[in-house]
């Protein structure tokens, strides 16, 4: 892995997983699974701080019921303050790292890859109130 910047910057890299040659990545047509403002999915309203939410992914749309991990385009929309969203497999401890960082009042997206929890869900939490869009996944199967 290489990293570069056109300005001086501190860099933080959190490894969140890997794919070996025996576990092929399976892409899929992008599909929105959640938009907290108006759906699809359960319309949750703004995600309120660390309360978070659980998003069913296994067996949803064209995602295999036996999926081990998914890649998600996660978007924070109109956050109330500078903050971050963490994405992780439900049923596991929340990691001490961010999946998406954003400034107040801006719409910011990032790709996140997460294992799927035993209940077929991926969890999201934010340290500030924000609307969230999640979805357009690809998947990695068991």
Residue range 51-69, pLDDT digits in tens: 678 888 888 888 888 888 8
Residue 10 forms part of a structural domain: no
Looking up residue 106, the CATH number of its domain turns out to be: 2.60.120
User: Is residue 86 within 8 Å of 112, Cβ to Cβ?
Assistant: no
Average pLDDT rounded to a whole number, residues 33-57:
72
- DSSP secondary structure, 75-95, as one string: EEES-SSSEEEEEEETTSPPP
Residue 41 forms part of a structural domain: yes
Q: What's the pLDDT at 89? A: 93
CA separation for the pair 25, 142 (Å, rounded): 10
112 versus 139: which is more confidently predicted?
112
Residue 83 forms part of a structural domain: yes
Domain range for 98 is 33-141
pTM score, whole prediction: 0.80
Residue 24 forms part of a structural domain: no
* Total of domains in the chain: 1
Residue 136 forms part of a structural domain: yes
CA separation for the pair 30, 14 (Å, rounded): 25
Instruction: Give tens-digit pLDDT for 83-99.
Output: 898 999 999 999 988 99
């Amino acid at each position: 892995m290489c990293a570069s910047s056109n300005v001086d910057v501190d860099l933080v890299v959190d490894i969140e997983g890997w794919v070996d040659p025996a576990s092929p990545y399976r892409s899929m047509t992008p599909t929105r699974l959640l938009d907290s403002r108006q759906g699809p999915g359960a319309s949750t309203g703004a995600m309120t701080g660390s309360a978070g939410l659980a998003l069913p992914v296994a067996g949803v749309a064209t995602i295999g019921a036996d999926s081990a991990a998914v890649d998600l385009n996660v978007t924070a929309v109109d956050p109330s303050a500078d903050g971050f969203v963490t994405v992780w497999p439900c049923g596991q401890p929340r990691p001490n790292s961010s999946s998406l960082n954003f400034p107040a009042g801006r719409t910011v997206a990032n790709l996140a890859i997460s294992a799927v929890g035993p209940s077929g869900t991926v969890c999201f939490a934010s340290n500030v109130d924000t609307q969230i869009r999640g979805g357009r996944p690809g998947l990695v199967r068991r």
